[in-house]
Amino acid sequence: MLSSSQGKLVRNGEEKKSVIWIEGNIASGKTTCLEYFSKTSDIEVLTEPVSKWRNVQGCNPLGLMYQDPSRWGLTLQTYVQLTMLDRHVLPMACTSPTEPLKGHGGGKKSSTPVRMMERSIYSAKYIFAENLYKSGKMPEVDFAVLSEWFEWIIKNIAIPVDLIVYLQTSPQTCYERLKQRCREEEKVIPLEYLESIHNLYEDWLIHHKSFEVPAPVLVIPADHDLKKMLHQYEENREKILMAHC
């Protein structure tokens, strides 16, 4: 059930849970970070619903957007906004409809004190929709409609977050990782696109000169190899998992 709290819609009867967003560029290491904490901590992990973005009643809006962003940018970003909102308002102790990570099976009940999310409705708007608009690939009217939906959502629906973990990665590192993992939709992504996404993230989470930052930010340099990154996650474990204290 939804109720009103300070003018925003929230769910009834939920215990306070620390909510952490893992933010960063494409191929910055978000999945590795989520896998590490899902294996070593009693937390709830919500991955980006990429499988939904790849298959909407047989259509692939993610692939279409990368092929022709001017035509399909609004279509994808509207759906991303909807599916990310669905993640944000999931009851805090419910079955998690994610693509399961290793060590965290879908269909498992969670009553853990920490929820960790891959990205957010904020980065969907402030980074990816903004990039489409600034690069001239989203018409002004499309961006205006998407923006009004976003503003209504954050004004009227509670989007909990206690900490933003920003995996700060150079565009060149992301580009090399992206080529190695060979996801079909990402084959057309140029380095320039990753540079644009990087700059928007820096403006938002580091320089605070573009948009609202809804929680404290923990910056983790993420250009390193896997061994070094796992060490950094362990070093920052207490800061991350105790974000609500």
Provide the 3-class DSSP secondary structure of residue 220. strand
Residue of 128, 115, 139 lying closest to 193 (CA atoms):
128
- What are the phi and psi torsion angles at 72 (to 5°)? -110, 0
Residue of 75, 62, 88, 80 lying closest to 10 (CA atoms):
88
Give yes or no: 23 in active site: no
What's 204's DSSP letter?
I
Of the listed 118, 130, 151, 185, which one is catalytic?
118
CA 142/CA 222 separation, integer angstroms: 34
Q: Is the Cβ–Cβ distance between 221 and 28 less than 8 Å?
A: no
Q: Which residues are annotated as catalytic?
A: 118
